[in-house]
């Protein structure tokens, strides 16, 4: 079974621009979560989508948004990029058998650099 | 609020040594789940193990073993006879129990950089 895929793998943007990252979950997985990883803040939860609905949200500004499509694929968008948004963005999928106990499987991440 | 602490920022060992990575967690829930992930230089988080709060049985998988102690809120990870390929950042994570319609999230520790030297 193919793993979680994320595109693009690397991205360079300038301040003020917006960016869209894409995530395809493992086949059959219905939940997609997004995390941001930075050297200073570590791994932080952004949001989770299940059945095209945001189920949980981390403590990030409204510039960070996402959506999920009917095929469970997900995108996240960051508008008005700031230097501090430079990070590794990781997507994870889970079967969503039950909230909390599911194991989340991660993709390779998208490395975003904001200049 | 839940919290995970990995006090060891970096550990360096020589190949074949045993090494233990510490993880201490905080949660108000009585039902929760603990995880360990490995992050090699490529960046992808690789799932290693999941443990339920109501199951304190220790687990061994090859050279890996995990010691879960609710009394001390710890979930430590031991690698026996370490190898160079074990070099990576290891993360401990916590997830609280939620219903099917509720969201879920992982709270991660800061990570421990393990370097195994030949």
Is pLDDT of B100 > 60? no
A92/B106 Cα distance (integer angstroms)? 10
Whether B10 has its CB under 8 Å from any CB of chain A: the answer is: no
Query: Which of A94, A82, A16 shows the shortest CA–CA distance to A48?
Result: A94
d(CA B69, CA B99): 25
B contacts of A43 (beta carbons < 8 Å)? 91, 106, 108, 111
Name the most confidently modeled range: A66-70, A91-95, B30-34.
A66-70
pLDDT, mean over chain B: 92
Strand partners, B76: B67
pLDDT of residue B99 exceeding 60, the answer is no
Instruction: Estimate the share of chain A in helix, then strand, then coil, as percent rounded to the nearest 5.
Output: 5, 50, 45
Residue of B nearest to A110 (CA): B43
pLDDT digits (tens, 9 = 90+) for B55-78: 888 888 899 999 999 999 999 999
CA distance A54 to A35: 14
Burial B26-49 (b: 16+ CB within 10 A, else e): ebeeeebbbbbbbbeeebbbeebb
The answer to whether the Cβ–Cβ distance between A100 and B104 falls below 8 Å is: yes
Q: What is the pLDDT of residue B103?
A: 62
pLDDT of A89 higher than 60: yes
B98: pLDDT strictly greater than 80: no
Considering only CA atoms, which of B41, B35, B45, B116 is closest in space to residue B82? B116
Cβ-Cβ contacts under 8 Å, B52 against chain A: 101
Q: What is the mean pLDDT of residues A34-60?
A: 93
Q: Residue A104, exposed/middle/buried by CB under 10 A (0-12, 13-18, 19+)?
A: buried
């Amino acid at each position: 079974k193919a793993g979680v895929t994320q595109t693009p793998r690397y991205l360079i943007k300038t301040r003020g621009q917006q960016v869209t990252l894409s995530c395809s979950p493992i086949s059959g997985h219905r939940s997609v979560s997004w995390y941001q990883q930075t050297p200073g803040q570590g791994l932080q939860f952004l949001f989770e989508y299940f059945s095209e609905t945001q189920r949980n949200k981390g403590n990030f500004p409204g510039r960070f948004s996402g959506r999920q499509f009917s095929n469970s694929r997900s995108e996240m968008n960051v508008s008005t990029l700031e230097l501090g948004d430079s990070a590794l963005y990781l997507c994870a999928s889970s079967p969503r058998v039950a909230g909390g106990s599911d194991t989340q499987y991660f993709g390779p991440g998208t490395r975003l650099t904001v200049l | 609020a839940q919290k995970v602490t990995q006090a060891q920022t970096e550990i360096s060992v020589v190949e074949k040594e045993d090494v233990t990575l510490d993880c201490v967690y905080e949660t108000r829930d009585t039902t929760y789940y603990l995880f360990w992930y490995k992050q090699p230089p490529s960046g992808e988080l690789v799932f290693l193990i999941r443990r339920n709060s109501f199951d304190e049985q220790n687990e061994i998988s090859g050279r890996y073993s995990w010691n879960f102690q609710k009394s001390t809120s710890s979930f430590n990870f031991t690698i026996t006879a370490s190898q160079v390929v074990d070099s990576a950042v290891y993360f401990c994570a916590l997830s609280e129990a939620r219903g099917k319609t509720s969201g879920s999230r992982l709270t991660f520790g800061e990570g421990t950089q393990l370097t195994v030297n030949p």
